[in-house]
Amino acid sequence: MPDRTMRLRRVNEALREVLSGAIARGVKDPRVGFVTVTAVDATPDLRQAKVFISVLGKTAAKEASLVALRSAHGYLQAVVNEELHLKRTPALEFVYDESIDRGMRIGALLKDQEQAMGIDLDSPGDSEGTQGDDE
């Protein structure tokens, strides 16, 4: 089984790379904003793959990009088929990746908490490993 999971990871990464390039260079739809393919999760039988994307911009830009990518589904599947030569070309499902937004919200909350407590964790201070750098 470990060989199977390693293969699936490699396939997921290859799908991510191919789709990233195809979206950046090949999708001419003006609704597609600044899209980043953050991850791909294919089923073990490679019949389906969830493509997680992040979009820079407001909610309307995110929704428009998702609609555009869903309409470019056939083109993107053809690119995957042409470049990867898999036994099966997975059906692509585009999903907005909420983890980046969550991370940014958590970062903002931590920054607010730092300011409320009068702490600045971003400033350089006497941390481990900084002594003796002048030698």
- Give 17-35 pLDDT, tens digit per residue: 999 999 999 898 889 888 9
Q: Give the per-residue pLDDT at 122.
A: 65
Domain ranges for the chain, please list them. Answer: 2-117
Q: Give the per-residue pLDDT at 123.
A: 62
The 8-class DSSP code of residue 90 comes to: P
Q: Which fold has domain 2-117?
A: GMP Synthetase; Chain A, domain 3 (3.30.300)
Q: Give the per-residue pLDDT at 135.
A: 44
Cβ contacts of residue 43 below 8 Å, gap of 6+?
A: 49, 90
Q: Give the per-residue pLDDT at 67.
A: 93
Q: Give the per-residue pLDDT at 95.
A: 93
Q: Give the per-residue pLDDT at 37.
A: 94
pLDDT tens over the chain, length 135 residues: 567 789 999 999 999 999 999 999 989 888 988 898 999 999 999 999 999 998 888 888 889 999 999 999 999 999 999 999 888 899 999 998 887 767 677 777 788 777 778 776 666 654 454 454 444
Q: Determine if residue 27 is left, alpha or beta; phi over 0 gives left, psi from -120 to 50 gives alpha, anything else beta.
A: beta
